[in-house]
């Protein structure tokens, strides 16, 4: 096997905000990026477009298309622009409307995404995890059921399980093809129960992941998220994913190197690293935290850590082949 190169094929699974962080860094190193994005968003502008026009919610896709562009700063301002006035327009982002319009012009959501990405000079592909009309259902520890992605983080009580409705949702052909041809599959960072786990619940996607011989990496969040992962350790994140998928899904788990520092009153939302986490040989600690925003990943640092792990994995595979 060969070390990481600009021809390495990488699939990133998750949601718009978290996935865009990785895409922003890796687009400088690989020409073959595929972002496989959750499609269950039902809030805000995306939710309105989904309900009124029957389109796949475009919000998370908007963030990823912008992240893959060389003109991201300007495009992000344009894409994120929200109309503050106007009947029917108020609350909508321009990027969501553009992707929706492109989808109508091309006759398909994937066609609209591809055309939008081409126009904006995106380096890579942004793909829907499924083309089905998916709704998320959260089941809390007390048995309470919460229906709808936008309501899940507002509930009181710990999440026990996340389900897709329909449970037999199919993966998109583009997402399946990307996974089948990947040299590396990266999951996260992002909202654990509403961005990370949902695409992994699509049965034909997780079957491909399980049978794949590619490197599989999980990028753990730097901060906990209210309503989803309060007081979660890294081990809690992994346990939740494995309960919904299969044991030992990841080869490596990337965490920020400062997780071993005591949590101060200044930093109460930090994810805590448990004693069990310290003993997990798959957990790899890197300096991946942004210097400007202590609760966010740094795109360059994160991409460099991913490349380091890929080369380490290739070396271990090659050593085994030589034995």
State the DSSP code for 213: -
Rounded average pLDDT over 232-236: 86
pTM of the model: 0.91
185-223, pLDDT tens digit by residue? 999 999 999 999 999 999 999 999 999 999 999 999 988
d(CA 32, CA 97): 27
Q: For the chain, how many residues are written? A: 323
d(CA 323, CA 313): 16
Domain extent for 309: 9-39+129-322
Domain count, the chain: 2
Q: Please spell the DSSP secondary structure of 8-64, one letter per residue.
A: -EEEEEE-HHHHHHHHHHHTTT-SEEEEEE-----SHHHHHHHHHH-PPP-HHHHHH
136-157, pLDDT tens digit by residue? 999 999 999 999 999 998 888 8
Classify residue 200 as left (phi > 0), alpha (psi -120 to 50) or beta.
alpha
Q: Does 4 map to a domain?
A: no
176 shares its domain with 282:
yes
Residue 170 pLDDT more than 60? yes
Rounded average pLDDT over 296-309: 96
150 shares its domain with 205:
yes
What angle (nearest 5°) sits at the alpha carbon of residue 135, between those of residues 131 and 140? Answer: 145
Q: Does 91 map to a domain?
A: yes
Residue 28 pLDDT more than 90? yes
137 shares its domain with 286:
yes
Return phi, psi of residue 204, to 5°. -75, -20
265 shares its domain with 141:
yes
């Amino acid at each position: 096997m060969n070390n990481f190169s600009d021809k390495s094929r990488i699939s990133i699974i998750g949601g718009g905000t978290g996935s865009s962080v990785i895409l922003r860094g890796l687009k400088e190193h690989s020409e073959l990026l595929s972002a496989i994005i959750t499609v269950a968003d039902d809030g805000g502008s995306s939710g309105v477009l989904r309900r009124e026009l029957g389109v796949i919610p475009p919000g998370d896709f908007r963030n990823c298309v912008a992240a893959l562009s060389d003109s991201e700063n300007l495009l992000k301002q344009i894409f994120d622009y929200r109309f503050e006035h106007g009947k029917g327009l108020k609350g909508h982002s321009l990027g969501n409307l553009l992707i929706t319009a492109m989808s109508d012009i091309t006759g398909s959501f994937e066609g609209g995404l591809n055309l939008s990405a081409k126009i904006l000079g995106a380096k890579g592909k942004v793909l829907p995890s499924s083309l089905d009309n998916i709704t998320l259902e959260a089941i809390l520890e007390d048995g309470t059921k919460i229906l709808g992605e936008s309501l899940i983080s507002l509930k009181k009580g710990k999440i026990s399980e996340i389900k897709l409705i329909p449970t037999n949702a199919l993966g998109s052909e583009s997402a399946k093809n990307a996974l089948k041809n990947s040299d590396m599959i990266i999951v996260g960072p992002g909202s654990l129960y509403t961005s990370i786990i949902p695409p992994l619940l699509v049965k034909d996607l997780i079957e491909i992941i399980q049978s794949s011989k590619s490197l599989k990496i999980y990028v753990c969040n730097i901060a906990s998220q209210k309503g989803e992962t309060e007081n979660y350790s890294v081990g809690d994140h992994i346990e939740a994913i494995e309960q919904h998928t299969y044991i030992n899904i990841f080869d490596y788990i990337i965490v920020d190197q400062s997780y071993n520092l005591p949590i101060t009153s200044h930093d109460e939302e930090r994810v805590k690293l448990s004693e069990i986490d310290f003993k997990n040989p798959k957990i790899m600690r890197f300096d991946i935290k942004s210097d400007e925003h202590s609760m966010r990943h740094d795109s360059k640092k994160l991409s460099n850590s991913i490349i380091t792990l890929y080369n380490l994995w290739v070396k271990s595979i090659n050593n085994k082949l030589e034995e």
